[in-house]
Structure 1
Amino acid sequence: MTTPTISAKQVKELRDRTGAGMMDCKNALAETGGDIDAAVELLRVRLGDKALKVGDREATEGTVASYIHSNGKVGVLVEVDCNTDFVARNDDFQAFAREIAMHIAASPQVKYVSEDEISQEAKDAELRVFEQQAADKPEHIRPKIAEGKLKAWMNDVVLLNQPHVNQDKYDGKTIEELRANLSGTAGENIVIRRFARFAVGA
Protein backbone atom coordinates (compact mmCIF):
# COMPACT_ATOMS: atom_id res chain seq x y z
CA MET A 1 0.00 0.00 0.00
CA THR A 2 1.50 3.33 -1.04
CA THR A 3 1.18 6.42 1.11
CA PRO A 4 -0.81 9.12 -0.68
CA THR A 5 1.07 12.30 -1.54
CA ILE A 6 -0.36 15.11 0.54
CA SER A 7 -0.06 18.52 -1.14
CA ALA A 8 0.62 21.82 0.62
CA LYS A 9 -2.75 23.01 -0.78
CA GLN A 10 -4.61 20.19 1.02
CA VAL A 11 -2.79 20.92 4.27
CA LYS A 12 -3.62 24.64 3.96
CA GLU A 13 -7.30 23.89 3.27
CA LEU A 14 -7.51 21.63 6.32
CA ARG A 15 -5.70 24.20 8.48
CA ASP A 16 -8.07 26.93 7.25
CA ARG A 17 -11.08 24.76 8.11
CA THR A 18 -9.89 23.55 11.51
CA GLY A 19 -7.14 25.86 12.80
CA ALA A 20 -5.16 22.75 13.76
CA GLY A 21 -1.36 22.73 13.59
CA MET A 22 0.42 21.81 10.37
CA MET A 23 1.76 18.44 11.56
CA ASP A 24 -1.66 17.47 12.97
CA CYS A 25 -3.21 18.29 9.59
CA LYS A 26 -0.54 16.40 7.63
CA ASN A 27 -0.90 13.30 9.82
CA ALA A 28 -4.71 13.40 9.63
CA LEU A 29 -4.60 13.68 5.82
CA ALA A 30 -2.08 10.84 5.58
CA GLU A 31 -4.29 8.62 7.75
CA THR A 32 -7.43 9.41 5.73
CA GLY A 33 -5.82 9.03 2.30
CA GLY A 34 -6.10 12.76 1.57
CA ASP A 35 -9.86 12.92 2.28
CA ILE A 36 -10.36 16.43 3.74
CA ASP A 37 -13.80 15.76 5.28
CA ALA A 38 -12.59 12.57 6.95
CA ALA A 39 -9.50 14.42 8.19
CA VAL A 40 -11.73 17.14 9.75
CA GLU A 41 -13.64 14.41 11.61
CA LEU A 42 -10.42 12.76 12.77
CA LEU A 43 -9.10 16.07 14.11
CA ARG A 44 -12.39 16.76 15.90
CA VAL A 45 -12.02 13.43 17.69
CA ARG A 46 -8.36 14.02 18.53
CA LEU A 47 -8.32 17.70 19.39
CA GLY A 48 -11.93 18.37 20.35
CA ASP A 49 -14.31 20.96 18.94
CA LYS A 50 -13.10 23.71 21.26
CA ALA A 51 -9.55 23.61 19.88
CA LEU A 52 -10.81 23.57 16.30
CA LYS A 53 -13.36 26.37 16.75
CA VAL A 54 -10.51 28.61 17.81
CA GLY A 55 -9.00 28.17 14.34
CA ASP A 56 -12.20 29.34 12.64
CA ARG A 57 -11.92 32.78 14.16
CA GLU A 58 -9.97 35.31 12.19
CA ALA A 59 -6.89 36.70 13.91
CA THR A 60 -7.38 40.45 13.53
CA GLU A 61 -5.75 41.70 16.74
CA GLY A 62 -2.14 41.28 17.76
CA THR A 63 1.21 42.97 18.14
CA VAL A 64 4.37 43.85 16.26
CA ALA A 65 7.39 42.92 18.37
CA SER A 66 10.94 44.03 17.76
CA TYR A 67 14.34 42.74 18.78
CA ILE A 68 17.68 44.49 18.29
CA HIS A 69 20.78 42.44 19.02
CA SER A 70 23.19 43.95 21.56
CA ASN A 71 25.80 44.70 18.86
CA GLY A 72 23.25 46.83 16.99
CA LYS A 73 23.90 44.96 13.73
CA VAL A 74 20.84 42.67 13.61
CA GLY A 75 17.20 43.68 14.07
CA VAL A 76 13.86 41.92 13.65
CA LEU A 77 10.21 42.95 13.37
CA VAL A 78 7.58 40.22 13.69
CA GLU A 79 3.77 40.44 13.53
CA VAL A 80 1.93 37.97 15.76
CA ASP A 81 -1.88 38.01 15.60
CA CYS A 82 -4.71 36.75 17.81
CA ASN A 83 -8.50 37.16 18.06
CA THR A 84 -8.99 39.77 20.78
CA ASP A 85 -7.32 42.89 22.10
CA PHE A 86 -7.50 41.32 25.58
CA VAL A 87 -5.08 38.55 24.57
CA ALA A 88 -2.97 40.95 22.47
CA ARG A 89 -2.20 42.93 25.66
CA ASN A 90 -1.57 39.77 27.72
CA ASP A 91 1.98 39.40 29.12
CA ASP A 92 2.35 35.80 27.88
CA PHE A 93 1.34 36.81 24.35
CA GLN A 94 3.72 39.79 24.33
CA ALA A 95 6.55 37.62 25.71
CA PHE A 96 5.89 34.98 23.02
CA ALA A 97 6.13 37.62 20.27
CA ARG A 98 9.45 38.89 21.69
CA GLU A 99 10.83 35.35 21.95
CA ILE A 100 9.94 34.73 18.29
CA ALA A 101 11.70 37.97 17.27
CA MET A 102 14.79 36.90 19.25
CA HIS A 103 14.78 33.47 17.57
CA ILE A 104 14.59 35.03 14.09
CA ALA A 105 17.50 37.36 14.94
CA ALA A 106 19.61 34.28 15.77
CA SER A 107 18.47 32.40 12.63
CA PRO A 108 19.75 34.12 9.47
CA GLN A 109 18.69 31.15 7.30
CA VAL A 110 14.95 31.47 8.10
CA LYS A 111 12.94 32.78 5.13
CA TYR A 112 9.35 31.55 5.54
CA VAL A 113 6.84 31.36 8.39
CA SER A 114 5.38 28.01 7.24
CA GLU A 115 5.90 25.39 4.55
CA ASP A 116 2.69 26.65 2.88
CA GLU A 117 4.59 29.79 1.83
CA ILE A 118 7.22 27.90 -0.20
CA SER A 119 6.20 27.72 -3.84
CA GLN A 120 6.25 24.36 -5.62
CA GLU A 121 8.79 25.89 -8.06
CA ALA A 122 11.18 26.67 -5.18
CA LYS A 123 10.83 23.13 -3.78
CA ASP A 124 11.37 21.59 -7.23
CA ALA A 125 14.49 23.73 -7.78
CA GLU A 126 15.98 22.61 -4.46
CA LEU A 127 15.05 18.99 -5.18
CA ARG A 128 16.87 19.11 -8.53
CA VAL A 129 20.04 20.35 -6.80
CA PHE A 130 19.80 17.61 -4.16
CA GLU A 131 19.22 14.96 -6.85
CA GLN A 132 22.38 16.09 -8.65
CA GLN A 133 24.31 16.03 -5.37
CA ALA A 134 23.21 12.41 -4.91
CA ALA A 135 24.25 11.43 -8.46
CA ASP A 136 27.23 9.39 -7.20
CA LYS A 137 24.95 7.23 -4.99
CA PRO A 138 23.19 4.02 -6.15
CA GLU A 139 20.25 4.95 -8.37
CA HIS A 140 17.54 3.32 -6.23
CA ILE A 141 18.37 5.40 -3.14
CA ARG A 142 18.89 8.77 -4.86
CA PRO A 143 15.23 9.95 -4.58
CA LYS A 144 15.19 9.08 -0.87
CA ILE A 145 18.44 11.00 -0.26
CA ALA A 146 17.11 14.01 -2.20
CA GLU A 147 13.78 13.94 -0.29
CA GLY A 148 15.68 13.76 3.01
CA LYS A 149 17.79 16.77 2.04
CA LEU A 150 14.68 18.69 0.97
CA LYS A 151 13.08 18.03 4.37
CA ALA A 152 16.26 19.17 6.13
CA TRP A 153 16.35 22.32 3.96
CA MET A 154 12.73 23.12 4.85
CA ASN A 155 13.52 22.69 8.53
CA ASP A 156 16.32 25.24 8.05
CA VAL A 157 14.28 27.89 6.24
CA VAL A 158 10.79 27.48 7.81
CA LEU A 159 10.26 29.26 11.12
CA LEU A 160 7.53 26.98 12.52
CA ASN A 161 9.65 23.86 11.94
CA GLN A 162 12.58 25.09 14.03
CA PRO A 163 13.28 24.32 17.68
CA HIS A 164 13.54 27.63 19.55
CA VAL A 165 17.18 28.76 19.84
CA ASN A 166 16.83 28.76 23.63
CA GLN A 167 16.51 24.97 23.74
CA ASP A 168 17.11 24.71 27.50
CA LYS A 169 14.31 27.12 28.34
CA TYR A 170 11.85 25.56 25.89
CA ASP A 171 12.92 21.93 26.18
CA GLY A 172 13.67 21.62 22.45
CA LYS A 173 10.08 22.53 21.44
CA THR A 174 9.57 23.88 17.92
CA ILE A 175 8.11 27.33 17.26
CA GLU A 176 4.92 25.59 16.02
CA GLU A 177 4.64 23.65 19.31
CA LEU A 178 5.10 26.87 21.33
CA ARG A 179 2.50 28.62 19.15
CA ALA A 180 0.03 25.75 19.55
CA ASN A 181 0.58 25.66 23.34
CA LEU A 182 -0.10 29.40 23.66
CA SER A 183 -3.14 29.09 21.40
CA GLY A 184 -4.53 26.34 23.66
CA THR A 185 -3.82 28.31 26.85
CA ALA A 186 -5.25 31.57 25.49
CA GLY A 187 -8.22 29.87 23.82
CA GLU A 188 -7.53 31.93 20.70
CA ASN A 189 -6.11 31.48 17.23
CA ILE A 190 -2.46 32.62 17.51
CA VAL A 191 -0.85 33.30 14.12
CA ILE A 192 2.71 34.33 13.31
CA ARG A 193 1.80 36.45 10.31
CA ARG A 194 5.09 37.77 8.91
CA PHE A 195 8.55 38.96 9.84
CA ALA A 196 11.44 41.01 8.55
CA ARG A 197 15.08 40.49 9.56
CA PHE A 198 17.61 43.25 9.02
CA ALA A 199 21.38 42.70 9.20
CA VAL A 200 24.04 45.32 8.55
CA GLY A 201 25.82 44.55 5.28
CA ALA A 202 23.46 41.70 4.35
Structure 2
Amino acid sequence: MSISAGMVKELRERTGSGMMECKKALVEANGDLELAIENMRKAGLAKADKKSGRIAAEGLIGAKIASDGKTAAIVDLNCETDFVAKGEDFIGFLNNIATALLTSDVETPEQLQEMKLESGKTVDEVRRELIAKLGENITIRRFETYKLSEGGASCYLHGSKIGVLVELAKADDALGKDIAMHVAACKPVCVSDDQVSQDEINKEKDIFSAQALESGKPAEIIEKMISGRISKFLAEITLLGQPFVKDDKTTVGQLLKSKGNSVIRFTRFEVGEGIEKKEENFAEEVMAQVRGA
Protein backbone atom coordinates (compact mmCIF):
# COMPACT_ATOMS: atom_id res chain seq x y z
CA MET A 1 0.00 0.00 0.00
CA SER A 2 1.07 3.62 -0.46
CA ILE A 3 2.48 5.44 2.55
CA SER A 4 1.03 8.94 2.88
CA ALA A 5 2.79 11.98 4.29
CA GLY A 6 0.15 12.10 7.03
CA MET A 7 1.01 8.57 8.18
CA VAL A 8 4.69 9.44 8.32
CA LYS A 9 3.88 12.66 10.25
CA GLU A 10 1.80 10.78 12.83
CA LEU A 11 4.51 8.16 13.34
CA ARG A 12 7.14 10.88 13.77
CA GLU A 13 5.00 12.62 16.39
CA ARG A 14 4.47 9.40 18.32
CA THR A 15 8.06 8.13 18.21
CA GLY A 16 10.22 11.24 17.80
CA SER A 17 12.17 9.44 15.05
CA GLY A 18 13.38 10.81 11.71
CA MET A 19 11.21 11.03 8.59
CA MET A 20 13.07 8.41 6.55
CA GLU A 21 13.20 5.99 9.49
CA CYS A 22 9.43 6.36 9.96
CA LYS A 23 8.69 5.87 6.29
CA LYS A 24 10.85 2.74 6.18
CA ALA A 25 9.11 1.34 9.27
CA LEU A 26 5.68 1.94 7.73
CA VAL A 27 6.68 0.26 4.47
CA GLU A 28 7.97 -2.79 6.36
CA ALA A 29 4.72 -2.91 8.39
CA ASN A 30 2.53 -2.52 5.26
CA GLY A 31 1.13 0.74 6.60
CA ASP A 32 0.15 -0.68 10.01
CA LEU A 33 0.96 2.20 12.34
CA GLU A 34 0.84 0.19 15.58
CA LEU A 35 3.02 -2.58 14.13
CA ALA A 36 5.51 0.02 12.89
CA ILE A 37 5.71 1.50 16.40
CA GLU A 38 6.21 -1.95 17.95
CA ASN A 39 8.96 -2.84 15.45
CA MET A 40 10.69 0.50 16.04
CA ARG A 41 10.58 -0.05 19.80
CA LYS A 42 12.16 -3.49 19.41
CA ALA A 43 14.86 -2.05 17.18
CA GLY A 44 15.39 0.72 19.70
CA LEU A 45 15.90 -1.77 22.53
CA ALA A 46 18.50 -3.59 20.46
CA LYS A 47 20.30 -0.30 19.79
CA ALA A 48 20.21 0.53 23.50
CA ASP A 49 21.85 -2.77 24.40
CA LYS A 50 24.64 -2.16 21.87
CA LYS A 51 25.37 1.28 23.35
CA SER A 52 25.32 0.16 26.98
CA GLY A 53 29.11 -0.30 27.17
CA ARG A 54 29.96 3.21 26.01
CA ILE A 55 31.29 5.72 28.54
CA ALA A 56 28.67 8.19 29.76
CA ALA A 57 30.53 10.87 31.72
CA GLU A 58 28.46 13.93 30.82
CA GLY A 59 24.95 14.70 32.01
CA LEU A 60 22.98 16.60 34.61
CA ILE A 61 22.13 16.55 38.30
CA GLY A 62 18.48 16.98 39.25
CA ALA A 63 17.07 17.63 42.72
CA LYS A 64 13.51 18.00 43.96
CA ILE A 65 11.98 18.86 47.34
CA ALA A 66 8.36 18.03 48.18
CA SER A 67 6.17 21.03 49.03
CA ASP A 68 6.15 20.07 52.74
CA GLY A 69 9.95 19.71 52.83
CA LYS A 70 9.69 16.17 54.19
CA THR A 71 10.74 14.30 51.06
CA ALA A 72 13.69 15.06 48.81
CA ALA A 73 15.37 13.38 45.86
CA ILE A 74 18.58 13.86 43.91
CA VAL A 75 19.54 12.10 40.67
CA ASP A 76 22.74 11.88 38.60
CA LEU A 77 21.70 11.17 34.98
CA ASN A 78 24.55 10.60 32.54
CA CYS A 79 25.00 10.64 28.78
CA GLU A 80 27.98 10.79 26.40
CA THR A 81 27.99 14.44 25.30
CA ASP A 82 27.04 17.81 26.76
CA PHE A 83 25.00 18.46 23.61
CA VAL A 84 22.54 15.67 24.48
CA ALA A 85 22.52 16.72 28.16
CA LYS A 86 21.20 20.16 27.16
CA GLY A 87 18.34 18.75 25.10
CA GLU A 88 14.67 18.91 26.18
CA ASP A 89 14.23 15.13 26.07
CA PHE A 90 17.14 14.50 28.45
CA ILE A 91 16.15 17.31 30.83
CA GLY A 92 12.54 16.13 30.85
CA PHE A 93 13.58 12.56 31.64
CA LEU A 94 15.70 13.76 34.57
CA ASN A 95 12.89 15.88 36.01
CA ASN A 96 10.37 13.05 35.64
CA ILE A 97 12.63 10.64 37.54
CA ALA A 98 13.24 13.12 40.38
CA THR A 99 9.53 13.91 40.65
CA ALA A 100 8.53 10.24 40.69
CA LEU A 101 11.06 9.48 43.44
CA LEU A 102 9.29 11.90 45.79
CA THR A 103 6.29 9.58 46.02
CA SER A 104 7.97 6.19 45.63
CA ASP A 105 9.57 3.68 47.98
CA VAL A 106 12.43 2.91 45.58
CA GLU A 107 15.71 2.05 47.34
CA THR A 108 17.85 0.10 44.84
CA PRO A 109 18.98 0.71 41.23
CA GLU A 110 16.97 -2.34 40.16
CA GLN A 111 13.80 -0.93 41.72
CA LEU A 112 14.47 2.44 40.08
CA GLN A 113 14.60 0.84 36.62
CA GLU A 114 11.10 -0.60 37.19
CA MET A 115 9.64 2.57 38.73
CA LYS A 116 6.68 3.90 36.75
CA LEU A 117 6.77 7.47 35.49
CA GLU A 118 3.74 9.69 34.94
CA SER A 119 3.51 8.43 31.35
CA GLY A 120 2.88 4.90 32.64
CA LYS A 121 6.17 3.63 31.25
CA THR A 122 9.01 2.40 33.44
CA VAL A 123 12.22 4.37 33.85
CA ASP A 124 14.12 1.74 31.89
CA GLU A 125 11.63 1.75 29.02
CA VAL A 126 11.95 5.52 28.65
CA ARG A 127 15.74 5.33 29.01
CA ARG A 128 16.03 2.79 26.20
CA GLU A 129 13.71 4.77 23.97
CA LEU A 130 15.86 7.87 24.50
CA ILE A 131 19.01 5.92 23.66
CA ALA A 132 17.42 4.86 20.36
CA LYS A 133 16.23 8.39 19.64
CA LEU A 134 19.32 10.37 20.71
CA GLY A 135 21.98 7.84 19.69
CA GLU A 136 23.93 7.91 22.95
CA ASN A 137 24.28 5.68 25.99
CA ILE A 138 22.19 7.06 28.87
CA THR A 139 22.60 5.80 32.42
CA ILE A 140 21.18 6.65 35.82
CA ARG A 141 24.43 6.57 37.72
CA ARG A 142 23.09 7.14 41.24
CA PHE A 143 20.25 8.62 43.23
CA GLU A 144 19.29 9.35 46.82
CA THR A 145 15.97 10.01 48.54
CA TYR A 146 15.32 11.49 51.97
CA LYS A 147 12.15 10.59 53.86
CA LEU A 148 11.86 12.79 56.95
CA SER A 149 9.51 12.51 59.91
CA GLU A 150 10.96 15.62 61.55
CA GLY A 151 13.12 18.55 60.49
CA GLY A 152 13.40 19.59 56.87
CA ALA A 153 15.35 19.14 53.66
CA SER A 154 16.87 21.72 51.32
CA CYS A 155 18.70 21.51 48.02
CA TYR A 156 21.10 23.54 45.92
CA LEU A 157 22.03 23.16 42.27
CA HIS A 158 25.20 24.79 40.99
CA GLY A 159 24.24 25.15 37.35
CA SER A 160 23.27 21.61 36.44
CA LYS A 161 26.56 19.83 37.12
CA ILE A 162 26.66 19.85 40.95
CA GLY A 163 23.73 19.12 43.23
CA VAL A 164 23.41 18.88 47.02
CA LEU A 165 20.71 17.71 49.43
CA VAL A 166 20.89 18.64 53.11
CA GLU A 167 18.76 17.38 56.01
CA LEU A 168 18.45 19.67 59.04
CA ALA A 169 17.18 18.72 62.49
CA LYS A 170 14.84 21.73 62.32
CA ALA A 171 13.21 22.93 59.12
CA ASP A 172 14.93 26.13 57.93
CA ASP A 173 15.04 26.42 54.16
CA ALA A 174 17.23 29.53 54.05
CA LEU A 175 19.84 27.96 56.34
CA GLY A 176 19.54 24.64 54.52
CA LYS A 177 20.25 26.27 51.15
CA ASP A 178 23.25 28.10 52.59
CA ILE A 179 24.66 24.85 53.97
CA ALA A 180 23.95 23.07 50.67
CA MET A 181 25.76 25.84 48.78
CA HIS A 182 28.72 25.45 51.12
CA VAL A 183 28.80 21.68 50.54
CA ALA A 184 28.74 22.25 46.78
CA ALA A 185 31.70 24.64 46.96
CA CYS A 186 33.85 23.05 49.68
CA LYS A 187 33.22 19.31 49.22
CA PRO A 188 33.31 18.09 52.85
CA VAL A 189 33.67 14.32 53.23
CA CYS A 190 31.25 13.97 56.14
CA VAL A 191 29.35 16.01 58.75
CA SER A 192 31.57 15.61 61.85
CA ASP A 193 34.78 14.13 63.30
CA ASP A 194 33.07 11.02 64.62
CA GLN A 195 32.13 9.99 61.08
CA VAL A 196 35.77 9.81 59.96
CA SER A 197 37.03 6.22 60.13
CA GLN A 198 39.88 5.38 62.50
CA ASP A 199 41.74 3.80 59.59
CA GLU A 200 41.68 7.13 57.74
CA ILE A 201 42.91 8.97 60.84
CA ASN A 202 45.69 6.42 61.41
CA LYS A 203 46.81 6.70 57.79
CA GLU A 204 47.11 10.48 58.06
CA LYS A 205 48.81 10.15 61.46
CA ASP A 206 51.47 7.87 59.95
CA ILE A 207 52.16 10.42 57.22
CA PHE A 208 52.36 13.32 59.68
CA SER A 209 54.59 11.26 62.03
CA ALA A 210 57.09 10.53 59.27
CA GLN A 211 57.23 14.21 58.36
CA ALA A 212 57.56 15.35 62.00
CA LEU A 213 60.37 12.90 62.80
CA GLU A 214 62.51 14.48 60.09
CA SER A 215 62.44 17.74 62.06
CA GLY A 216 64.65 16.23 64.80
CA LYS A 217 62.56 17.85 67.53
CA PRO A 218 61.90 16.24 70.96
CA ALA A 219 59.26 13.51 71.18
CA GLU A 220 56.81 15.61 73.21
CA ILE A 221 57.00 18.42 70.64
CA ILE A 222 56.52 15.93 67.81
CA GLU A 223 53.43 14.53 69.54
CA LYS A 224 51.93 18.02 69.77
CA MET A 225 52.77 18.64 66.11
CA ILE A 226 51.02 15.44 65.07
CA SER A 227 47.99 16.23 67.23
CA GLY A 228 47.73 19.68 65.69
CA ARG A 229 48.00 18.31 62.16
CA ILE A 230 45.28 15.73 62.82
CA SER A 231 42.98 18.44 64.19
CA LYS A 232 43.62 20.55 61.09
CA PHE A 233 43.01 17.55 58.82
CA LEU A 234 39.65 16.81 60.48
CA ALA A 235 38.60 20.45 60.24
CA GLU A 236 39.39 20.46 56.51
CA ILE A 237 37.33 17.39 55.62
CA THR A 238 34.33 17.73 57.97
CA LEU A 239 31.38 20.02 57.31
CA LEU A 240 31.26 21.34 60.88
CA GLY A 241 34.98 22.14 60.93
CA GLN A 242 35.18 24.04 57.65
CA PRO A 243 35.08 27.87 57.49
CA PHE A 244 31.63 28.87 56.19
CA VAL A 245 31.82 29.77 52.50
CA LYS A 246 29.91 33.05 53.02
CA ASP A 247 31.90 34.10 56.10
CA ASP A 248 35.30 32.49 56.60
CA LYS A 249 35.60 33.96 60.11
CA THR A 250 33.08 31.42 61.41
CA THR A 251 32.88 27.67 60.93
CA VAL A 252 29.79 25.86 59.71
CA GLY A 253 29.55 24.29 63.16
CA GLN A 254 29.48 27.73 64.80
CA LEU A 255 26.87 28.95 62.30
CA LEU A 256 24.59 26.01 63.04
CA LYS A 257 25.01 26.47 66.79
CA SER A 258 24.04 30.14 66.50
CA LYS A 259 20.86 29.06 64.71
CA GLY A 260 20.07 26.32 67.23
CA ASN A 261 20.16 23.73 64.47
CA SER A 262 22.22 20.78 63.24
CA VAL A 263 22.88 18.84 60.04
CA ILE A 264 21.75 15.23 60.05
CA ARG A 265 23.25 14.33 56.67
CA PHE A 266 24.05 15.64 53.22
CA THR A 267 24.48 14.22 49.72
CA ARG A 268 26.68 15.84 47.08
CA PHE A 269 26.67 14.68 43.43
CA GLU A 270 28.91 16.08 40.70
CA VAL A 271 28.58 14.99 37.08
CA GLY A 272 31.46 12.82 35.93
CA GLU A 273 33.30 12.62 39.27
CA GLY A 274 35.29 9.41 39.48
CA ILE A 275 34.65 8.47 35.84
CA GLU A 276 37.64 8.15 33.56
CA LYS A 277 36.67 9.97 30.40
CA LYS A 278 37.74 8.72 27.00
CA GLU A 279 40.29 11.01 25.41
CA GLU A 280 39.20 11.80 21.87
CA ASN A 281 41.81 12.19 19.12
CA PHE A 282 39.85 13.46 16.14
CA ALA A 283 42.85 13.42 13.78
CA GLU A 284 43.40 9.72 14.44
CA GLU A 285 39.67 9.08 14.10
CA VAL A 286 39.56 10.73 10.66
CA MET A 287 42.66 8.82 9.52
CA ALA A 288 41.12 5.55 10.65
CA GLN A 289 38.02 6.30 8.61
CA VAL A 290 40.14 7.17 5.56
CA ARG A 291 42.10 3.92 5.88
CA GLY A 292 38.85 2.00 6.27
CA ALA A 293 37.50 3.58 3.11
| Cα drift, residue 139 of structure 1 | 4.1
1:122 counterpart residue number: 200
Structure with the larger helix share: 1
Cα distance between partner residues in 2 of 1:100 and 1:181: 14
What letter matches 1:163 in structure 2?
A: P
What's the TM-score once normalised by structure 1's chain length? 0.56
| Cα drift, residue 157 of structure 1 | 0.5
Cα distance between partner residues in 2 of 1:100 and 1:117: 18
| Cα drift, residue 60 of structure 1 | 5.1
Cα distance between partner residues in 1 of 2:253 and 2:149: 19
What's the TM-score once normalised by structure 2's chain length? 0.40
Which residue of 158, 163, 168 maps to 2:238? 158
Q: Note if contact 1:60-1:81 (Cα within 8 Å) is conserved in structure 2.
A: no
2:191 counterpart residue number: 113
| Cα drift, residue 143 of structure 1 | 2.1
Q: Which has the larger radius of gyration?
A: 2
Which residue of 170, 195, 200 maps to 2:266? 195
Q: How does 1:4-83 map to 2 (within 5 A)?
A: 61-70=150-159, 72-82=160-170
Cα distance between partner residues in 2 of 1:78 and 1:65: 5
1:33-86, CA deviations, whole angstroms, 9 ceiling, x for partnerless residues? xxxxxxxxxxxxxxxxxxxxxxxxxx951122111113x22111111122xxxx
Gaps of 5+ in 2: 1-147, 274-293
Q: Note if contact 2:157-2:163 (Cα within 8 Å) is conserved in structure 1.
A: yes
2:178 counterpart residue number: 99
What letter matches 2:262 in structure 1?
A: V
Count of residues in Structure 1 that have an aligned counterpart in Structure 2 = 124
Report sequence identity in percent: 35
Question: Alignment RMSD, CA only?
Answer: 1.8
Cα distance between partner residues in 2 of 1:60 and 1:177: 26
Cα distance between partner residues in 2 of 1:67 and 1:124: 34
Gaps of 5+ in 1: 1-58, 83-87, 184-189
What letter matches 1:122 in structure 2?
A: E
Structure with the larger strand share: 2
Higher relative contact order at CA 8 Å, sep ≥6: structure 1 or structure 2? 1
2:12 counterpart residue number: none
What letter matches 1:179 in structure 2?
A: L
Which residue of 182, 187, 211 maps to 1:133? 211
